[in-house]
């Protein structure tokens, strides 16, 4: 019976650490209303932790699912209308524009990586 260890090589592990440190350095300087603020970061012997501001609505995937369930239930008040969708998309584009102006490329844009805060009177 063969035993195969699943893990990273030392080089892969070093590259991941360097990428994470670069991400932390970028997060430290981001200051924009559409970019999640980094509060702090720290390391333990085995892990690195990045503390981000709380985003009350979770990620965009959860946010959309919440409105889809309201719409399916026939609750017009819970459905995301076109104006709300336009507002959300505008916020995403403004955040991406800010990154681009600062020569930062996200490289992993997806619903799971877009965090949502509810603002009074908006979605």
User: CA-CA distances (angstroms) from residue 12 to 9, 17, 67?
Assistant: 5, 9, 40
Of the residues 59, 84, 108, 112, which is catalytic?
108
- Answer for the pair 106, 96: CB distance below 8 angstroms, yes or no: yes
Q: For this structure, is 40 an active site residue? A: no
Sign of the CA dihedral 45, 109, 121, 63? negative
- Answer for the pair 92, 34: CB distance below 8 angstroms, yes or no: yes
Q: How far apart are CA 62 and CA 22, in angstroms?
A: 28
- Answer for the pair 94, 105: CB distance below 8 angstroms, yes or no: no
- Active centre residues (catalytic): 108
């Amino acid at each position: 019976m063969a035993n195969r260890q699943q893990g990273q090589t030392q080089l892969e592990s070093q590259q991941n650490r360097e990428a994470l440190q670069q991400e932390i350095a970028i997060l430290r300087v981001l200051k924009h209303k559409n970019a999640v603020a980094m509060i702090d970061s720290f390391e333990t012997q085995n892990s690195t932790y990045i503390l981000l501001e709380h985003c009350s609505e979770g990620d965009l995937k959860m946010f959309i699912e919440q409105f889809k369930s309201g719409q399916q239930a026939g609750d017009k008040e819970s459905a995301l209308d076109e104006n709300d969708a336009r507002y959300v998309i505008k916020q995403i584009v403004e955040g991406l524009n800010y990154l681009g102006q600062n020569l930062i490329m996200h490289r992993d844009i997806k619903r799971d990586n877009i965090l949502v805060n509810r603002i009074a009177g908006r979605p």
